[in-house]
Amino acid sequence: MKILTSPAKLMNINNSTSLLKATTPKFIEEATLIQHYLKQKSPKYLSELMAISQKLADENWERNQVWTAHPTAKESAPALFAFTGEVYRGIDAKTLDKESIAYLQKNYRILSGLYGLLKPSDRVMLYRMEMGRNFEFEHYKNLYEFWRQRLTEELNSELSAKDLVLNLASAEYCKVIDRKQLKARVIDFDFYEMKDGKMKTIVVYTKHARGLMVRFCAQTKAKTIDDVKAFTLENYRIDESLCSENKLVFTR
């Protein structure tokens, strides 16, 4: 099984753990290439590219200038602990035990605009480069064009035909994977809130639920689709009437 999520804009490299031995990302050479071009871009360009304030653009320009492929422990953190957005609040990795962390190291991967595909232990620095931004470099029109074949092949190298891919990434990030080339079944997810008898999608809750699903799989050592269907954290329950062959729907 492979579980996929997006990264997060919010990061904290002061977070760490003794349960993971830090590793170097598989695609660190590719990340270095992207950063080579990013370092040449002005704060104004970054502001326009990522639709962020000048203050954030200045901050990320500074991050780009000091980025290195081989950071020290003080300059980086394992990816599972470095990202701190809503998905990662749902995972709440700092409260997971050794066995759960080991499960995630084997089964969980984070899609990244800069680093490509990250294992929980992979050392990352503070950065901001969303997959969906139209960043052009060399002959590539965007990051999808740069990453799609690389990441699809890497996932396939870790998969067998009997495996499942749990897609808990956002639409922006999961588009980077060529599903037609994947040799395993992909399962999508919807999480709904019941309000006044109607199902509603509330983005912040959906993000949190994606993290909760990652946490649940780690805690229960999920292997099969039935294992995943048993998800009940924070009052979510599967609604079989809304599910399809390759989509699971949970409501609360």
H or E element at residue 58: helix 54-66
Angle at 29 between CA 27 and CA 31, to 5 degrees: 70
H or E element at residue 32: helix 28-38
Q: Is the pTM of this model over 0.75?
A: yes
Distance between start and end Cα atoms, the chain: 26
Please state the separation of Cα 180 from the chain's center in Å.
20
In sequence order, what are the residues at sequence separation of 6 or more whose Cβ sits closer than 8 angstroms to the Cβ of residue 8?
Answer: 83, 84, 85, 86, 87, 88
> CB of 228 within 8 A of CB of 166?
yes
CA dihedral (229, 232, 236, 237) in degrees, to 10, reads: 50
How would you write the pLDDT of the chain (252 residues) with one tens digit per residue? 999 999 999 999 998 888 899 999 999 999 999 999 999 999 999 999 999 999 999 999 999 999 999 999 999 999 999 999 999 999 999 999 999 999 999 999 999 999 999 999 999 999 999 999 999 999 999 999 999 999 999 999 999 989 999 999 999 999 999 999 999 999 999 999 988 888 999 999 999 999 999 999 999 999 999 999 999 999 999 999 999 999 999 999
CA dihedral (88, 91, 97, 98) in degrees, to 10, reads: -60
Scanning 76-186, the segments in alpha helix (DSSP H) are 79-82, 86-91, 98-107, 143-158, 171-174
Domains of the chain, residue spans = 2-251
